[in-house]
């Protein structure tokens, strides 16, 4: 695959020095290669977006909405190919890959509806002072750079691309070098729909490409989803330009289980929160706080549930959990297993890499984990769950909030008044009550503390790509 970059409405060969190897994590083997974009090609992509901006931002809201609905429809028409690619390149089980695609489709459809409502957001402003009128005008922020991660390709890019296009922005998208293929679909769809050249540009590459984009003086905004270490570099680059950023970073989220829960139901919520996408989620509820009154009944049941999960190749087996997506992530998770042994943690389930081809690890449960453990505090990004007991609601809230992250949390309790009270007290951006992690495009996504800056999804996602202008006129 040589023509792997979409710049100014054309597919072009990569001219960078890096060769990107695309792997099947269930086999631990490459199945495609592509050349990274050069720094000069990043410049070309930004220039194309800049050239396209004056015309695109004048396109009517209804016309932009039609393009977005076209993206949704075209994703649906490519359904089986996209699901298969998610399974092969990410190692996702089929049911997860299906949900990812449905999420992306729903995102484009939702922002098509919001795009049509944008004219209504240009409105008169009431002034207390006589002799003046004022109106608010919402305008696209301009040329935006979008850098997306490997754990939810297609989805995360939809969360950024759809509201950016709805707002009237032009875009340079950089997918992860681990999963660079599926975002090519957006360029193919742009061709099919006749999206004006330069409105959407896609450049693939590794760190050099990402750094060239994040530090580019031609951008008006940057939106990044990924690790805290890279996010801090992105923020430094943006600060040199005084450029706004949206950062969706890491998490070390808590799931709080009270003693009035149904044990089997609680186990289902816990397992989903730590093994979905093999735990490779910024929102993974990897810290389990379980009430003393239910712990002795719940923990053995949880151990059994994790040990009986079917782990394997989603392309050849009926599985509950696939492999980790990259060898680097497999090595990282394995290093935490070694740290757990060094710390003397009690392992109830898993705690090891699986002896088979590919990058597989066992779903893992450690109990009575001290609060100063590295595994309790650090984002592992794998199916590794750490459990502690609590005796009071206040203790649960304190320990859940004792984290440098603040992305999500889950509360499990039959007492809905208590569950709502605890949800309100948690210092995070999104809380689920008695549920798996159901994410809806109408709600917001983002966190507090070290989990990032800004919000995606919902009307807040669109607002992130709009600039507010006031026009005040003297009547005298």
316 and 181, same structural domain? no
Assess whether 28 and 12 both reside in one domain: yes
Residue 389 CB partners (closer than 8 Å, separation 6+): 289, 290, 291, 292, 295, 368
Residue 341 gets the label, from left (phi > 0), alpha (psi -120 to 50) or beta, of: alpha
Max intra-chain CA distance, the chain: 82
Residues 314 and 390 in one domain: yes
Catalytic residue among 248, 379, 386, 412: 248
- pLDDT confidence of residue 20: 94
pLDDT given at position 121: 78
Catalytic residue among 261, 282, 386, 412: 282
pLDDT tens, residue by residue, 401-446: 999 999 999 999 999 999 999 999 999 999 999 999 999 999 999 9
**What does DSSP assign to residue 357?**
S
For helices 94-117 and 79-90, what crossing angle results, to 10°?
120
- 228 lies in a domain? yes
pLDDT score for 2: 52
The answer to whether residues 210 and 274 belong to one domain is: no
Q: What's the token pair of residue 440?
A: 């809806």
Alpha-carbon distance of 440 to 463, in angstroms, equals 17
Is 264 part of a structural domain of the chain?
yes
Task: Let me know: does 295 contact 257? Beta carbons within 8 Å.
Answer: no
Q: Cite the beta strand spans of 104-199 per DSSP E.
A: 123-125, 132-140, 143-147, 170-174
> What is the spatial distance between Cα 352 and Cα 335, in angstroms, rounded to a whole number?
10
> Which candidate, 418, 346, 331, places its Cα nearest to that of 380?
331
Check: pTM over 0.85? Answer yes or no: yes
Domain span at residue 290 reads: 254-440
CB 235, CB 245: distance < 8 Å: yes
Same domain, 54 and 160: yes
**Pair 407, 469 in one domain:** no
Q: Answer for the pair 25, 323: CB distance below 8 angstroms, yes or no.
A: yes
Q: Is residue 446 part of a domain?
A: no
50 is a domain residue: yes
Same domain for 303 and 201? no
Q: Is 282 a catalytic residue?
A: yes
* Same-domain pairing of 279 and 210: no
In the prediction, which pLDDT does 476 show? 82
Residue 202 contacts residue 173 (beta carbons within 8 Å) = yes
Question: Domain containing 304 — which CATH number?
Answer: 3.40.309.10
- Name the residue with tokens 């896609």: 202
Q: Are strands 5-7 and 10-12 parallel, antiparallel or unpaired?
A: antiparallel
Structure tokens at 2: 């040589």
Which runs of E-coded beta strand occur in 243-324? 245-248, 254-257, 287-291
Same domain, 241 and 260: no
Q: What is the CATH number of the domain that holds 12?
A: 3.40.605.10
283 CA to centre of own chain: 9
Residue 85: the pLDDT is 96
Whole-number mean pLDDT of the chain?
96
- What's the CA gap between 260 and 412, in Å, rounded? 9
Q: Angle 183-184-189 (CA atoms, 0-180°, nearest 5)?
A: 100
Count of structural domains within the chain? 2
**CA nearest neighbour of 307 among 335, 275, 259:** 275
Q: Give the tens place of pLDDT for each residue, 8-19.
A: 999 999 999 999
| Residues 175, 203 within the same domain | yes
Q: Are 288 and 196 within one domain?
A: no
Asked whether residue 445 is domain-assigned, the answer is no
User: Do 267 and 243 belong to one domain?
Assistant: no
Token pair for residue 160? 């950024």
Catalytic status, residue 261: no
Q: Spell out, as residue ranges, where the chain has pLDDT lower than 50.
A: none
* Burial track 365-390 (b if 16+ CB lie within 10 A, e otherwise): bbbebeeebebbbebbbbbbbbbbbb
């Amino acid at each position: 695959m040589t023509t792997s970059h979409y710049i100014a409405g054309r597919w072009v060969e990569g001219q960078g020095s890096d060769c990107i190897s695309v792997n099947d994590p269930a086999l631990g083997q490459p199945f495609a290669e592509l050349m990274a974009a050069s720094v000069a090609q990043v410049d070309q992509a930004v220039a194309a977006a800049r050239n396209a901006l004056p015309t695109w931002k004048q396109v009517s809201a209804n016309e932009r909405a039609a393009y977005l609905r076209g993206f949704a429809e075209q994703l649906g028409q490519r359904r089986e190919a996209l699901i298969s690619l998610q399974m092969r390149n990410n190692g996702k089980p089929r049911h997860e890959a299906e949900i990812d695609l449905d999420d992306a489709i729903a995102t484009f459809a939702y922002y098509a509806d919001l795009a049509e409502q944008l004219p209504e957001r240009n409105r008169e402003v009431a002034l207390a002072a006589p002799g003046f009128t004022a109106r608010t005008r919402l305008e696209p922020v301009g040329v935006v750079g979008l850098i997306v991660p490997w754990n939810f390709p297609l989805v995360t890019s939809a969360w950024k691309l759809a509201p950016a296009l709805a707002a009237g922005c032009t875009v340079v998208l950089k997918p992860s070098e681990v999963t660079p293929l599926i975002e090519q679909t957006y360029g193919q769809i742009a061709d099919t729909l006749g999206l004006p050249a330069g409105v959407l540009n896609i450049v693939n590459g590794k760190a050099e490409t990402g750094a060239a984009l994040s530090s580019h003086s031609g951008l008006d905004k940057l939106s990044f989803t990924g690790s805290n270490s890279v996010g801090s570099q992105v923020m430094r680059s943006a600060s040199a330009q005084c450029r706004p950023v949206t950062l969706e970073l890491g998490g070390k989220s808590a799931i709080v289980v009270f003693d009035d829960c149904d044990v089997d139901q609680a186990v289902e919520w816990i397992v989903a929160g730590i093994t979905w996408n093999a735990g490779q989620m910024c929102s993974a509820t990897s810290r389990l706080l379980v009430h003393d009154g239910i712990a002795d009944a719940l923990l053995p049941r949880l151990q059994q549930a994790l040990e009986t999960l079917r782990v394997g190749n989603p392309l050849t087996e009926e599985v509950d959990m696939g492999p980790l997506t990259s060898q680097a992530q497999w090595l990282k998770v394995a290093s935490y297993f070694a740290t757990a042994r060094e710390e003397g943690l009690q392992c109830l389930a898993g705690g090891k890499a699986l002896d088979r081809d590919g990058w597989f690890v066992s779903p893992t449960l450690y109990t009575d984990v001290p609060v100063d453990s590295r595994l309790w505090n650090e984002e592992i990004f794998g199916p590794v769950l750490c459990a502690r007991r609590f005796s009071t609601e206040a203790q649960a809230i304190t320990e859940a909030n004792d984290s440098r992250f603040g992305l999500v949390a889950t509360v499990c309790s039959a007492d809905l008044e208590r569950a709502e009270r605890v949800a309100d007290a948690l210092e995070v951006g999104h809380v689920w009550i008695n549920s798996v992690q159901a994410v809806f495009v109408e709600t917001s996504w983002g966190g507090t503390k070290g989990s990032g800056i800004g919000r995606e999804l919902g009307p807040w996602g669109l607002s992130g790509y709009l600039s507010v202008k006031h026009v005040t006129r003297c009547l005298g």
